[in-house]
Structure 1
Amino acid sequence: MNSILIFGGILVYILILTVRFRISPFITLISAAFIYGILDGNDPVVLYLGIVSGAAKIFQVLAIMVFCGVCIAHMLRRSGYIDTIVDDISRFMKSPENTAGIGGWILSLPLMCCNTAFVLIAPVIEQTVGKKSASPYLYIAAIASIISFVLIYPSPAVVPVMVTLLPSLADPWALDLVLIPVAVIMLVLLLLYARKKTGGLESEVRIPLKKHSRVKAWAPVITPFLLAGLGLLIPAISFFSIISIALFCGLLVAMVSVGKEARDIGIHDGTKYAGLIMFDLCGAGAFGAVIAAGSFPQEIYWFVSGSIPALFLPFILAAALQAASGSRVVSAATTAEILAKASDFPDIQPAALVLMIAGGSCMVSFVSDPYFWLVKRFTGDETTGVINNYTLPLAGIGLIIGFSGVIIQILSGYL
């Protein structure tokens, strides 16, 4: 019980540093790891080694993916190709809410960051419907980008769960046979909700843009998934199914297609932004490793299992960590580290496990969530408006995702 009390205090500490003082997540999480470890009775030298090991593990898994995705995003923005991509989506979708939702949902995948996808698509939405009318559609794009980000492999929010909790899974891509349909259903529910909120405006959306080659615009987005698919189908090139390799190829395609100026500036700006993201993620890895190395995993399992089904523990942990850290990747990675050390934790169907963690990470997207403030800045709404249009709808989706995990668990015969 002692480690549970320490953990609760550390969550409050993270929340205060994040919300009140706006301290860098890396500094917050590394300091939280040290404080937790010392209070839990760890030797400082051993504690330091654990922090370094946890940070290194996250860097090893996510560094290439995040760097490639962010640099592709910055090159697409600098070249203006993002306008062409969204325009193509709008020509097919015919309504601004569908364009915003499907655009955010799609772009979050190859760019490996829902925040980056939103920053790219938000100015295009404002240009499409007018800045004064853009607020409802910005909320749609933000929530849609989170849906695909927390649910679909190989997102950075899903990969740590696979690596830590499901290392023996022969083909992690196979889980997408379950995860993608759930993500699509969540998107459809969001768009139905959006049509009710916006009145279902039916008008073809056109964005005034420069003439760009659609092949060049779409090539960096499509290449990683095309190569990954070929790698899964053709044994001789199976190495392409490693998403870091596929994304690196997408980066090379982007560097060729966007031109010298967009390439140079995009790589420069993307490297800086990717570095910030990776430091935050490495802080999460360090924090999770320190917690997982102690008695907390067993204590929280024993504490919870007596009052609620153990199946809900991933959901609750992810929600608590999301409330404290504000990062969906942090909450997923740390939850996975904690559960991996709970030796008595029951067998949960892999897809159900991912869904429970994903659902929990959507539950408390409030002031500690950097995305909350990003959406507030773009919409210009008051805090209560962002809560009503971003935090609460996303929590509703999180509940449905978690419920989907329970259904899959039951249908798979694990309960």
Structure 2
Amino acid sequence: MSTATLVLTAAGSVVLLLFLVMKARMHAFVALMLVSVGAGIFSGMPLDKITDTMQKGMGGTLGFLAVVVALGAMFGKILHETGAVDQIAIRMLNTFGEKRSHYAMGAAGFICALPLFFEVAIVLLISIAFAVARRTNDNMVKLVIPLFAGVAAAAAFVLPGPAPMLLASQMHADFGWMILLGLCAAIPGMLIAGPLFGNFIAKRVQFTSPAEDSFPEVPKDKLPSFGFSLSLILFPLILVGLKTIAANFIDKGSRLYQCFEFIGHPFIAILIAVLLTIYGLAYRQGMDKTRVMRICGEALQPAGIILLVIGAGGVFKQVLVDSGVGPALGHSLTGLGLPVALSCFILAGVVRIIQGSATVACLTAVGLIMPVIEPLHYSGAQLAALSICIGGGSIIASHVNDAGFWLFGRFTGATEIETLKTWTMMETILGVTGGIIGMIAFTLLS
């Protein structure tokens, strides 16, 4: 087929996906699978190849991510149930003081979201914002914008978040560089889009905190120490970082190098962290085995739904690649003479605006850009920088087709217009900041 036909197929597929999810109110998983079939048919793929490609896309995406997401969900849930997440948030507030509570909320959101899904982190931490607002009489906007920005920054850029982990694995990026560059993008982005923008927009938009906080607090006498709580959250990140350090300073054929490679793999790093939280924290606090099992089971329920949608996004991505739609669109964009890092950002941003999901935007952008960059043999560090560019583009301009848009409005009581002025602008500032940092890093590493 001609390039124009393939590009129209891609555009039509995304428009159809938008219609099915927004207008027809079809579940995202079903819509993605259906649109994948349609994209395969209209791009001229043989019918038997379409089903093989769908299976390949589902397995290729979830083969790595399913283990990480499942273990990460258990890890985050146990940390919450034992009070470790609450301890970190409380210490942050005490350290920053009430006058700088908006900075504390951003920092707490960022750190506590590292082992958690975006939605889970918000549910667990929003009550802190309500409590601080009541004590300080601050406008809720000034507190919730930094909180959401901190959680969103961690979810978009920093391992072991599902989206950054997905990008790193699909792009074959170096995990150590992904951590470093992710932090370089997330921290400035969180500060600009969170406390600074939150302080600005709070003068123009007002939210009222709810009369009652329905989220229970862990008793102070049962909270683990701040140092131990923080070390648990950072533990898997340190193991992955040690693997990268070993790759640069230890002989690759040595036994020591193999050990670092083993414990630094995300599977093993998060598995060890889960075991440490169970045996080193949960049991020490007096939790019985039945309760720990229940916590782990509850953690897997939302993870299963997320994984299905991610897998369906992987199917859509794989169909775009195998049908030739991806290479055609990617080459069309690069044919405009745009730098590859900017192309990554724009591709992810366009898909994000059209269909809403940051995860699907990441998967689709990877599928479109990989055929272009694979022959260039970029290093793992450069691929990490490009992953950050995609991550930045994937969160810009959140609007009514994004679940995060409605999550923000539900918890804050904001109207759609108020949500556009606050949440949408915050996400865009965060994404653009991260994307620019990713582009700068790619240029310096080239």
The answer to whether the superposition gives a TM-score over 0.5 is yes
Q: 1:108 aligns with which of 92, 95, 113?
A: 113
2:277 matches 1:254: yes
**Alpha-carbon distance, 1:241 to partner:** 0.7
SS in structure 2 at match of 1:211? helix
Q: Report the Cα distance in structure 2 between the residues aligned to 1:313 and 1:304, rounded to whole angstroms.
A: 7
2:293 matches 1:264: yes
Change (3 A) 1:80 1:22: farther
Aligned partner of 2:224 in structure 1 is 214
TM normalised by structure 2 equals: 0.82
Q: Report the Cα distance in structure 1 between the residues aligned to 2:24 and 2:83, rounded to whole angstroms.
A: 36
**Alpha-carbon distance, 1:400 to partner:** 2.5
2:88 matches 1:55: no
**Alpha-carbon distance, 1:23 to partner:** 2.6
Q: Once the two structures are superposed, what CA deviation does each residue of 1:99-148 show, in whole Å capped at 9, x if it has no partner?
A: 2211111122222x222222211122223323995344222211221212
Q: Tell me which amino acid in the other structure corresponds to 1:162.
A: A
Aligned partner of 1:149 in structure 2 is 155
Q: Report the Cα distance in structure 2 between the residues aligned to 1:401 and 1:322, rounded to whole angstroms.
A: 15
Aligned partner of 1:73 in structure 2 is 76
2:413 matches 1:380: yes
Question: Is the CA contact 1:84–1:212 (under 8 Å) kept in the aligned structure 2?
Answer: no
Mark the runs of 5 or more structure 2 residues left unpaired by the alignment.
Answer: 204-216, 247-255
Q: Once the two structures are superposed, what CA deviation does each residue of 1:295-341 show, in whole Å capped at 9, x if it has no partner?
A: 22332234323435142321122112222342222211221122222
Q: 2:104 aligns with which of 99, 102, 108?
A: 99
Q: Report the Cα distance in structure 2 between the residues aligned to 1:250 and 1:23, rounded to whole angstroms.
A: 37
TM normalised by structure 1 equals: 0.87
Q: Once the two structures are superposed, what CA deviation does each residue of 1:332-356 show, in whole Å capped at 9, x if it has no partner?
A: 1221122222368767633441232
Question: Is the CA contact 1:69–1:110 (under 8 Å) kept in the aligned structure 2?
Answer: yes
SS in structure 2 at match of 1:109? coil
Question: Is the CA contact 1:351–1:408 (under 8 Å) kept in the aligned structure 2?
Answer: no
Q: Tell me which amino acid in the other structure corresponds to 2:111.
A: I
SS in structure 2 at match of 1:214? coil
Q: Tell me which amino acid in the other structure corresponds to 1:328.
A: A
Aligned partner of 2:213 in structure 1 is none
After superposition, where does 1:231-242 map in structure 2 within 5 Å?
231=243, 232=245, 235=257, 236-242=259-265
Change (3 A) 1:16 1:252: same
After superposition, where does 1:91-240 map in structure 2 within 5 Å?
91-94=94-97, 95-111=100-116, 113-130=117-134, 133-165=139-171, 167=172, 171-190=174-193, 191-198=195-202, 209-215=219-225, 217-218=229-230, 220-231=232-243, 232=245, 235=257, 236-240=259-263
Q: Report the Cα distance in structure 1 between the residues aligned to 2:296 and 2:180, rounded to whole angstroms.
A: 34
Q: Tell me which amino acid in the other structure corresponds to 2:110.
A: W
Q: Report the Cα distance in structure 2 between the residues aligned to 1:36 and 1:309, rounded to whole angstroms.
A: 26
Change (3 A) 1:147 1:249: same
Q: Tell me which amino acid in the other structure corresponds to 2:68.
A: M
Q: Report the Cα distance in structure 1 between the residues aligned to 2:56 and 2:15, rounded to whole angstroms.
A: 25
Q: Report the Cα distance in structure 2 between the residues aligned to 1:397 and 1:186, rounded to whole angstroms.
A: 5
**Alpha-carbon distance, 1:368 to partner:** 1.6
Aligned partner of 1:202 in structure 2 is none
Q: Report the Cα distance in structure 2 between the residues aligned to 1:251 and 1:325, rounded to whole angstroms.
A: 34
After superposition, where does 1:269-284 map in structure 2 within 5 Å?
269-284=298-313
Q: Tell me which amino acid in the other structure corresponds to 1:228.
A: V
Aligned-pair Cα RMSD in Å? 2.7
Change (3 A) 1:226 1:358: closer
Q: Tell me which amino acid in the other structure corresponds to 1:210.
A: K
Question: Is the CA contact 2:82–2:224 (under 8 Å) kept in the aligned structure 1?
Answer: no
Aligned partner of 2:393 in structure 1 is 360
Change (3 A) 1:275 1:344: closer
Change (3 A) 1:265 1:210: farther
**Alpha-carbon distance, 1:362 to partner:** 1.7
**Alpha-carbon distance, 1:164 to partner:** 2.9
Q: Report the Cα distance in structure 1 between the residues aligned to 2:221 and 2:347, rounded to whole angstroms.
A: 48
Aligned length: 402
Question: Is the CA contact 1:160–1:336 (under 8 Å) kept in the aligned structure 2?
Answer: no
Mark the runs of 5 or more structure 1 residues left unpaired by the alignment.
Answer: 200-206
Q: Once the two structures are superposed, what CA deviation does each residue of 1:222-281 show, in whole Å capped at 9, x if it has no partner?
A: 332344345555633431111121111222223332323652332121111110111111
Aligned partner of 1:393 in structure 2 is 426
Q: Tell me which amino acid in the other structure corresponds to 1:318.
A: A
2:352 matches 1:322: yes
2:323 matches 1:294: yes
SS in structure 2 at match of 1:309? coil
Question: Is the CA contact 1:298–1:343 (under 8 Å) kept in the aligned structure 2?
Answer: no
